[in-house]
Amino acid sequence: MPTEIGFKRLGLVIGIAVALGLGAVAASSLLISVDAARDAVTAQIRAATGLDPRVRGAVAISIFPPDTVSLGDVVLGDDRNQPVLATQVLTARLRLLPLLVGRIEIADIVLVRPHIALAFARGSGRSNWSSLVDALATALKPGTQRATLSISEIRINDGTIIIDDPVRDIRETLRHVEMSLAWPSITSTFGATGQFAWRNEVVEAGLNVSDFYAALTGEPSGLKFRLASTPLKVAFDGALSSKSPAKIDGTLAADAGRLRDVLRWLGKSPPVEGGFNRFALKAQVNAVAGAVALSAVNLELDGNITEGVLSYTAGERNNLKGTLAAETLDLTPYAATFHFLTANAREWNTAQMPLDDIAAVDLDLRLSAAQVTVNGTKIGRTAAAANLKDGRLNLTIGEAQAFGGLVTGSLAIAKDAGAGTTEFKSQMQFTGVDLESCLGQLFGLRRIDGKGNLAFALDATGDSVDAITRTVGGTATLTAADGALMGFNVEQLLRRLERRPLSGGSDFRSGRTPFSKLNVALKIVDGLATIDDVHMDGSAVRLALVGTSSIPTRDLDLRGTAALVAAANENAFELPFVVHGPWDDPILLPDTEFLIRRSGAGESLRKAVQERSANEAIRKAIERLTGGLPLAPRP
């Protein structure tokens, strides 16, 4: 019972003390005038930050709880033009104990709907905050006598930040800024946490500076920051020195679920239609005066992991350089942009190539991989380089073990924005490649089996594959050994026609014709390939061709002679023929006039047709004799 009475007495004493304290606070608050409150708050802010706020609106004092002083329409900087900071209301929450003796000390500050402007001047690079930062550094200098312990926190509610840099053509607005700034009152650290909205995305942000005064004066200071949004997350841990030249050194990490969403968020278009999804980057970053070097780079994109070094230099023309290496690369997601043929594989792709942004940056990138995959095709050791300067892109393949052989060469693309055209030049060499696979995947032509060499030097103008085929010019050569022509059994056809010249009714588009040597040479002008020389030699058949091929329509108009290889004491059987039709399904037609002449039984009918004295019945008779084949013109 005595203990219970003691607790009651203690509670009564505490209650009386609290009541007296509250009464004292209320009484002291009533004794503070509006002018005195305004002057005390602005003096406290000036002492703690070195910044001089000017109050243009009304002042209000709130009696406990809590004790606050609210200043309306407060500005920093030149209020005749656009001030660096203007806030509708600045509310200062006061410390309780100093109020007991009638003294105002600010615990923290809330800026309600502030408008903050950060503008950089041309030439000097200084901002409208430079002089205020100098004043802030003076106020926070170690050993400086301050009127109070300093403000512990500054909060921003529903703020707006505008960044304007005409040199870099940057004008960005951060809206709905909700931030808490941990002001360095006793320690030297500075921290900021909160969020803002940028380009319709909410971004959570965090910043920590280990030595705020050193950072303000340009001396080295520890720096950590993080940005997290739906499209992208970025984190940095390192050091900062803003004294000329400004330096940043530390570890950078970034990741995104879809890199193409990040690019669109940043106002850029993805360079290709496919891929650019999962992205992750980790690297050691060293930035000095606009030049950023990334070492120990670990870059992941669409499941491809590469390592190496990168560097980026900002200026009138942004420049990216680097060397990356990978064990495996799957380029299938990006191949859709550069399909030569349409989905039906019979017409050239008419889609415009995405080359509008190639003039936006200079590039010098080298890439190597032990294995590359493109649309299921496995390519062995590959080394390539891309160089982009002043809108001209050069792609160089130093080595690519592809199609069972070796591929080397170059491709140059130059976009003329004024003329609205794009120029292409290419020199490629395919050595010891599987021709069916190589020609089939590049051009949709699957008629030559075996190993061989392919070389071409071409130039064209156009913004799509289809447009390029209509202007292309240059030369191309193909050589092969110990292969076969697919879809034709020329030997079987020749032997049957040698015995029975008018035997028809057979489909010539089947089988294969082996050869020991094949040579093809052609010249191309405005999309029309003139075949100057095609020779095929085999153990049983020799073949020679001349004629033309339209690249835009992908069809053939050839004439030639096929001959059986005869013994030394025999006369070789030779058959003139023509080849018409599309590349992937041409028709071979023997010269029926030659066959009719060789067949004595049909000679009179042939003459009748030539003299146009035969009636329809005679013509039908000839067609029956030749198996329904039309008469081919004389070669």
What tokens were used for 540? 């049983």
Q: Hey, which of 207-216, 344-353, 501-510 has the most confident mean pLDDT?
A: 207-216
Q: What is the pLDDT of residue 505?
A: 47
Q: How confident is the model at residue 58 (pLDDT cuts 50, 70, 90)?
A: very high
- Would you say residue 453 has pLDDT above 50? yes
**Residue corresponding to tokens 């949004």:** 229
Q: What is the pLDDT of residue 590?
A: 81
Q: What is the pLDDT of residue 41?
A: 86
pLDDT reported for residue 146: 52
CA distance 91 to 241: 34
pLDDT of residue 86: 93
pLDDT digits (tens, 9 = 90+) for 483-496: 998 877 888 888 88
Q: What is the pLDDT of residues 531-571, one digit of tens each?
A: 888 899 998 899 898 999 999 988 989 998 988 887 656 67
User: What pLDDT score was predicted for residue 18?
Assistant: 44
More confident residue, 138 or 291: 291
- What is the predicted pLDDT for the residue at 623? 54
Residue 342 pLDDT class (50, 70, 90 cuts) = low
Q: What's the pLDDT at 19?
A: 44
Band (pLDDT 50/70/90 cuts) for residue 140 is confident
Average pLDDT, the chain: 82
Which DSSP string do the residues of 407-424 spell out, in sequence order? EEEEEEEEEETTTTEEEE
Percent of the chain with pLDDT over 90: 40
Q: Which residue has the higher pLDDT, 34 or 283?
A: 283
What count of other Cβ atoms lies within 10 Å of the Cβ of residue 287?
Answer: 20
What integer pLDDT is reported at residue 388 of this predicted model?
86
Residue 442: what pLDDT?
Answer: 78
Q: Which of 87-91, 284-288, 391-395, 590-594 has the lowest mean pLDDT?
A: 590-594
Q: What are phi and psi of 338, to 5 degrees?
A: -115, 30
Nearest Cα to Cα of residue 572 among 491, 484, 485: 491
Dihedral sign of CA atoms 155, 160, 166, 168 in order: positive
Positive or negative CA dihedral for 126, 129, 131, 135? Answer: negative
Instruction: Using the predicted structure, report yes or no on whether residue 77 has a pLDDT greater than 60.
Output: yes
Which pLDDT score, from 0 to 100, does residue 343 have?
Answer: 54
The 10s digit of each residue's pLDDT in 144-169 is 655 445 678 899 999 999 999 887 78
**pLDDT score recorded for residue 515:** 93
Check whether 349 has a pLDDT greater than 80.
Answer: no
| Interval 232-249 mean pLDDT | 92
Nearest to 414 by CA among 446, 445, 390, 385: 390
**Most confident segment among 129-143, 387-401, 414-428, 621-635:** 387-401
pLDDT score for 616:
57
Q: What is the pLDDT of residue 476?
A: 93
At 355 the pLDDT is 63
* Pairing mode, strands 106-119 and 153-165: parallel
Amino acid at site 194: G
Give residue 603's pLDDT. Answer: 54
Convert the pLDDT of each residue in 422-447 to its tens digit.
Answer: 889 999 999 999 998 888 887 777 88
Residue 175 dihedral angles phi and psi, to the nearest 5°: -115, 165
What distances in angstroms separate CA 567 from CA 33, 492, 538, 539, 598, one per listed residue? Answer: 126, 17, 14, 11, 21
pLDDT at 520: 93
Angle at Cα 494 formed by Cα 633 and Cα 436, nearest 5°? Answer: 90
pLDDT band of residue 80 (cuts 50, 70, 90) is: low
